[in-house]
Amino acid sequence: MTAQVPAERRRRSRGGRGEQLMVPDADFRSYHDRPIIKPPVWKVPDVPAYLYLGGTAGVAASLAALADLTGRAGLRRSGRLVAAGGAVTSVAFLIHDLGRPERFLNMMRVIKPTSPLSVGSWILAPFGTATGAAAASEVTGLLPGAGRVAGLAGGVLGPAMTTYTAVLLADTAVPGWHEAYRELPFVFAGSALAAGGGSALVAGHGDGPPRRVAVAGAALELAATHRLETAIGMSAHAYRTGRAGRVLRAARAATVAGVAAALAGPVVDRVGRRSPRRRRLLDAAAGLLLNAGSAATRWGVFDAGMATAWDPAYTVVPQRERLAAREAGDGSAPGATVDR
């Protein structure tokens, strides 16, 4: 076949400005440049919003539960309200994204461990119920005992809320998500901690635990996202370029600024004259920036995956590479991931 001059498309895989291309000389062939896999029909903002709100609600619920146990009434209140509000809005976005919203309850027909969306529905349903009950008790002052039990249940489910969505994206044939399955849960975990802690800062209950949660979460979010951009093979390219790259750079800027503002409050108070008003403003800005960064991170991750779905290079080139490795006789199994 060497002398063949194919009239069908043969294209160099994109290297952007040639920087850090994982497959430096990758020729690949395709059918009229069409995508190989079907790009998801999931919409923006529905799905990024669902990811962001679910994560924020999860951390807020855990903060509220521990606040309850340690007697921090203000943090308990804001946490319960954010958790319930986030859960309800996240479900609303999920339902809105369905092709047949009126059949939403079919999600509860079965429990399937092979379907992250099924598992997720069975985490989201009790989480939404528990946090909703806790918030109702908080607002009305009725049944505080039941409210405490519900709040604790929500707090226990909270961490699961923050990371099942990473599996939801990774468990697809979308190269930019599947190849990131080790990193994505930590990106989402950090992003949720930053936003959940940040929501308490906005509410004015940021002192102590929420501030620490927000700053630690932001650090995790930044570090894990950096791995997406560098360590996941060819798809890393999609996280650095195009709209996804721009959104993720904006996310990083917001998160870094948010961390700075979150740390600034207590520091300025210590060195300068104490000013509750200034602290309040700084904390609110910090919380808003961290939430903006978190939401943008989800959007950027979503967009990067979409880019790798539309461009057949991201599917063909890595698959060709592992076929070549297999033919070279390293005996690896089909689809064995190239060593990282």
Partner 1 sequence: MGANSWYGPLADPSADAGYGADHPERVGFFTDTSVCIGCKACEVACKEWNALPADGVAEQGAGGDVLGMAGMGYDNTGGLGASTYRHVAFVEQRVPATRSAQTDLDMPSMDLPGAVTSGEDRGDATEVRWLMSSDVCKHCTHAACLDVCPTGSLIRTEHGTVLVQEDICNGCGYCIPACPYGVIDQRKGDGRAFKCTMCQDRLGAGLQPACATACPTESIQFGPLDELRARADERLASLQEQGVTEARLYGHDQDDGVGGDGAFFLLLDEPEVYGLPPDPVVTTRDLPSMWRHAAAAALTVAATVGAAFLGGRR
Instruction: Report 119-178 residues binding partner 1 (CB under 8 A).
Output: 121, 158-160, 162-164, 166-168, 170-174, 178
Match 């309040």 to its residue by tokens: 280
Of the ranges 85-93, 102-110, 139-147, 226-234, which one interacts with partner 1 (CB under 8 A)?
102-110
Which is closer to partner 1, CB of 35 or CB of 204?
A: 35
Residues 209-228 interacting with partner 1 (rule: CB under 8 A): 209-210, 212-213, 216-217, 220
CB 113 to partner 1: min, Å:
8
Tell me how far apart the alpha carbons of residues 223 and 152 are, in angstroms, rounded to a whole number.
30
14 binds partner 1 per the rule CB under 8 A:
no
Closest to partner 1 by CB, 104 vs 136, is 104
Indicate which single residue of 16, 27, 112, 230 sits in contact with partner 1 (rule: CB under 8 A).
112
Stretch that binds partner 1, among 35-43, 146-154, 238-246, 272-280 (CB under 8 A): 35-43
| Minimum separation from the CB atom of position 122 to partner 1 (A) | 9
Min separation Cβ 178 and partner 1, Å: 6
CB atoms under 10 Å from CB of 230, counted, come to: 11
Answer for which of 4, 19, 274, 277 binds partner 1 (CB under 8 A) is 4
Query: Pairing relation of β-strands 27-29 and 10-12?
Result: antiparallel
* Residues 72-91, interacting with partner 1 (CB under 8 A): 72
The two three-digit tokens of residue 39, written as one number: 């790009």
> What is the DSSP code string of 271-312?
HS---HHHHHHHHHHHHHHHHHHHHHHHHHHHHHHHHHHH-T
- Give the interface size with partner 1 as a residue count (CB under 8 A): 88
Alpha carbons 38 and 96: distance in angstroms, whole number: 21
Residue 334 found at the interface with partner 1 (CB under 8 A): yes
Give me the phi and psi of 250, to 5 degrees please: -65, -40
- Burial category of 229 from C-beta neighbours within 10 Å (exposed 0-12, middle 13-18, buried 19 and up): buried
